[in-house]
Amino acid sequence: MQYFPVFIDLDNKPVVVVGGGEVATRKVSLLLRTQAQIHVIAPTLSPELAQLHDQTRIQWQRLSLCQNNDASWLPSGTSMVFMATNDTDLNRYWAKQLGNSSALINVVDDPSWCDFITPAIVDRGKLQVAISTAGAAPVLAGQLRAQIEQSLPSSSAQLMEFVASQRTSIQQQLSAGERRLFWQRFFAANGRGYSAATQQTFTELLASASFKQAKAQLYLWDIAQDPHSLPLWMLEKLVNVDIVVGANDLPEQLEVYIRRDAERQLVVDVQCLRELYHQNMSIICFADTTKINEIALDFSSAVVVKGGTPALPCDHPNMPKTLHR
């Protein structure tokens, strides 16, 4: 992973955009979604930036930056600098000069000179999704963003505000385990957007306490399978499992999706699995083909996860009697 994904709080922090043309305008438009103090360094401004300056939404330092300048133009405490001029040599010169400063540097469309790059973004208020191809395929990142945009209604932002307003109350009323189950059931019942029924769904679920009655789940994964073939539907299950059984050293492709606080048990023991299952735990078991077959015979409701195929319960008529590698 070349770039570490992170969200940075820019509230009331100085951010500098060097350049006053079309590229700089796009960067400023993105930054306006934050509460950053936006400083533009340029001899002239595009009509859009000039209007923003007139509205006091950005600060403008009228300066034709060159390699002979000192760094006094950089505001104290600057968090980020976007070099967005049409002069590649100038952009790279100042990226190097500012390399020892505390500011993170982005040279637009020149990733090898960047401390960070800006991803494709899906913005639903407190819900934000960032997509990056490390600069390799921005068109693909844009296509993925469009797909995610379509799956998240615009009211998702309002839903996030509602959820945020209820978090303290839920933390006071429920234990950590109960909170996770409650929010799982709530989002499953409510969906991803806010509606007139959202408040009622929330209130009724909390009053019924039905979310506390967790249903046991057991997923079986043959470790001989390629981890890259893990079906997409299984990713959500990994995020929510209570216990991971077997496989001391899981491939990173699987480990990254498993809950960090999930309990780990290295030994795959059928009797132990029975006890956990009767406690209504959500379990994923990693084992070899022989052990998977043994467990599948003992648990008719277990789900054998086949790479790239829909899941079928072990007693499903279409489930093969022998699991193949």
Contact at 8 Å (CB) between 87 and 21?
A: no
Q: What is the pLDDT of residue 325?
A: 27
Between residues 322 and 178, which one has the greater pLDDT? 178
CA distance 304 to 314: 7
CA distance 196 to 258: 34
Assessment of whether the complete model's pTM goes beyond 0.75: no
Instruction: Return the bridge partners of 19, or none.
Output: none
CATH 3.40.50.720 is right for the domain spanning 14-118: yes
Among 52-56, 186-190, 193-197, 208-212, where is mean pLDDT lowest? Answer: 208-212
CA distance 80 to 62: 19
Task: Indicate the residue type of 87.
Answer: D
Cβ atoms within 10 A of the Cβ of 76, count? 6
Residue ranges per structural domain of the chain = 14-118, 156-212, 217-313
Between residues 84 and 322, which one has the greater pLDDT? 84
Q: List, as one string, the DSSP characters of 27-91.
A: HHHHHTTTT-EEEEEESS--HHHHHHHHTTSSEEEE----TT--GGGSPTT--EEEE--S-HHHH
Contact at 8 Å (CB) between 325 and 225?
A: yes
Q: What is the pLDDT of residue 318?
A: 42
CATH 3.40.1010.10 is right for the domain spanning 217-313: yes
Q: Angle at which helices 176-190 and 198-208 pack, to 10 degrees? A: 140
Sole residue written with tokens 């890259």: 228
Q: How confident is the model at residue 260 (pLDDT cuts 50, 70, 90)?
A: confident
> In Å, what is the CA distance from 178 to each residue of 172, 203, 231?
11, 15, 28
Q: What is the mean pLDDT of residues 56-81?
A: 95
Q: What is the mean pLDDT of residues 185-189?
A: 93
Residue 316 has pLDDT above 70, yes or no: no
2-40 pLDDT, tens digit each: 899 999 999 999 999 999 999 999 999 999 999 999 999
Q: What is the pLDDT of residue 227?
A: 86
Residue 311 has pLDDT above 60, yes or no: no
Contact at 8 Å (CB) between 286 and 262?
A: no
Q: What is the pLDDT of residue 296?
A: 92
